[in-house]
Structure 1
């Protein structure tokens, strides 16, 4: 599929803490790139032909674009909130469409079956009614009023609770989850999925979190989130078709899929089709 509509977007290309003068070779939408520490101390990202790409550092990661971004990287206000622990989870390589990776993150119904006894458990399998909208002012997909019973909603959780959720899609390969913060009622834990599209069927996934949790060791926080995503990886790598279908007739949605339907509609509206399948084959 064409990548033209997506080249002006920002994408994660590495951890800010791991940039060095020697550089790290990777790829972005099929183009070889190199991420290194610039002479000014910032990140320097170069394309395959040596051209310097737009780059910035935010949310623990280096971000770059193959084109000319028309707006700054999306805001996550909680990243600057005092008292939060900012967690760089690392990277997981997944042989799937980058759009599939985001859509899976938005899926609530799989919790009891894929993340059994952690994010869900039988017989608590029903997805309650929730609200989904494309917020035109911000041009983002939002799902609100989501709730689900979880045996262990977070590493800091003590026993099962009914967890409140909000999902936000501010960019084609990024999603942000706001969920109940067990140690601090009234606040939201923030868990993100930043996806680097290496190719249409291959991606690096960079989870990142902003949490209120003063007790759990950092290693345990990272391990907990990595465990969740590794459980997802086998599902993602075996989905058929491999690319994300944007034709409404190719997969039959249910009530639990409302966020996915809105996400696909939003992608199609903008022509974000790198990693997508437009028509049935």
Structure 2
């Protein structure tokens, strides 16, 4: 008698049982043919262009099911540059002396991201890590700092990594059971936003800008409920992006720039979240 992992008894064989049976058949020209492979155990079949909708669905469902099993209901996103080193660390991405100087100066944001993640995670503990769970892109720099801050206080954290042309791997502070890998940027972005109760954005490059503006667009168009969107480092962001200028030019509505808050420290950012959600 077969017992399902969920849903009770079934008279049908489990798919994993049939998978083992299919893999243990005698080797013959027929069984070695690609046509004989079970469709869902055939990587060549699943990676065909016509199967893209299936792959999109799988990338959406796998993290969703795992996070649901863990009971994770809401998250705090940390977006920010992969190139920002920790204080005293090597500015490995610097291409010249100016970049080296600036990256080293911006290492303060690594420490603030780490402290901010600790504050969020300490509050997350009150919900048994179901609410306000830290999520990052799982890479180095600010992302590492976020996962590291959660690890500092023994809290779980999520990493949403993605396959890139250059070799890269998730940072060592992501909770292994919550470390996901994506092929599709679009599905990865959905998983960032779907559970977000707050979005903290640290200095970064094109990827950070992309994530920032998508968040703004979703809120501004009403496709996402208003949540705290916090830019760390007012001096950096006011030089990088002039939202007041856009409002003056009429390309955004007056007041749209007030979707965001600014913070220079972890305490200021956490205070923004506490005020928004009336957390004591």
When Rg is computed on C-alpha atoms for both structures, the one with the higher figure is 2
TM value normalised by structure 1: 0.25
Q: Kindly indicate whether structure 1 or structure 2 has the higher relative contact order, using CA contacts under 8 Å at least 6 residues apart.
A: 1
Which structure's residues are more often helix, by fraction? 2
Q: If the length of structure 2 is used for normalisation, what is the TM-score?
A: 0.25
